Amino acid sequence: PPRPEAIQAVKDAERAGVRTVMITGDHPKTARAIGEAMGMRIGSDEIITGPELDALTETDLVQRVPSIRVYARVSPPHKLRVVRAWKSRGEIVAMTGDGVNDAPALKEADIGVAMGKTGTDVTKEAAAMILTDDNFATIVRAIEEGRAIYDNIRKFIRYLLSCNVGEVLVMFLAAFLGLPLPLLPIQILFVNLVTDGLPAMALGVDPPGPGVMDRPPRPPKENIFARGLGQKIAFRGILIGVSTLLVFVWCLQVWGMGLREARTMALTTLILSQLFHVFDARAEDRSFLEIGLFSNMWAVGAVLSSIFMLLAIIYLPYLRELFKTDPLGGLDWVLVVLASGFIQLLAALRDAVLRPLRHIGRGLAR
């Protein structure tokens, strides 16, 4: 009988938009029984035998493969034909096998998967991946892990580029408007090495988000900036840069601060805006409150560490002289937190408006 975890894995694969097809040398009735035990819904026209497969031309097979769930009484050449038919439709094909005769089909597939325990050396050599536990559920877990890694790459890029756009923009606008530099080189270095680096690394180990297996596979040629990522980067970067510059100008011209203290205010606003963005960058298809602030303790630790280091360069005399900062008072912190929080509010409102529209668009695309 099928393993219980394999039955659940078939359901998880279907939910993730991965179609499971069974190819076996068994009798059609036996194949159907095994497939149904695995949780596969098999219609009367969704099972085909090797002799029936031989009667189909390549064109006919390419047209029929989407409607076939079980192939019974097949030989190794049939497996190769099935793989090629799916690939002819532009699909990404993963094929499992353990025997020597499975090697051609494994090699032809986009992802050949060999059994580590029962597989032959020839099969393992032809495969791109080897299952050390011979468990189908491991393939589904690998899909989930792969999606999580890709999502984390997007989070990493989103966070770092948004922050960098903000930093470049505040310096460019200040120079364009004839203002003093809002940040000194050593302060920019501090931002890039400390408050950018630690949270970005924490995003790289973010656990799989809810719903990672509830969406269809992404198109193979999809750009890394697809699904609105480029717009999110630009929008957040502009907000960070403009708000930092506004705080700097306000402190200089309205509050009459000295240049050094105004730079401290700009530096603090920039850093807090970026640290707020850490939690926002973790959530692409839902609010960061839905995934939980503490679901990635590495991110929480990175943010707290960055805040601690920010306080150190503001209030410790030696570091204050090194980074050319001044201590901030209570009212100063109120302005900084309000400016940084306002950015978070605007970004949250934008996502709340656009997120349902993106879901509708994906539904229509399907």
Residue 363 has pLDDT above 70, yes or no: no
CA distances from 35 to 24, 30, 77, 179, 316 (A): 10, 9, 22, 71, 68
Measured between alpha carbons, how far is 126 from 329 in angstroms, rounded to an integer? Answer: 67
Confidence grade of residue 358 (pLDDT, cut at 50, 70, 90) = low
Confidence grade of residue 86 (pLDDT, cut at 50, 70, 90) = very high
pLDDT value of residue 45: 86
CA distances from 235 to 158, 334, 346 (A): 11, 24, 10
What is the pTM for the complete model shown?
Answer: 0.87
The mean pLDDT value of the chain amounts to 91
User: CA geometry: angle at 197 spanning 181 and 234, to 5°?
Assistant: 60
Pairing status of strand 22-23 against strand 70-72: parallel
Confidence grade of residue 220 (pLDDT, cut at 50, 70, 90) = confident
Residue 134, number of CB atoms within 10 A of its CB: 16
pLDDT digit string, tens, across residues 136-174: 999 999 999 999 999 999 999 999 999 999 999 999 999
Residue 3, number of CB atoms within 10 A of its CB: 13
Of 131, 126, 151, the closest CA to residue 6 belongs to 131
pLDDT value of residue 361: 53
Q: Average pLDDT in the 323-340 region?
A: 96
CATH superfamily of 4-139: HAD superfamily/HAD-like (3.40.50.1000)
pLDDT value of residue 67: 93
DSSP E strands: which ranges in 122-242? 129-131
Q: Which CATH architecture has domain 147-365?
A: Up-down Bundle (1.20)
Q: Write down the domain spans for the chain.
A: 4-139, 147-365
Phi, psi of 15 (to 5 degrees): -65, -30
Q: Which residue has the higher pLDDT, 193 or 263?
A: 263
CA distances from 302 to 25, 90, 155, 156, 237 (A): 55, 42, 15, 14, 20
Q: What is the DSSP letter of 95?
A: E
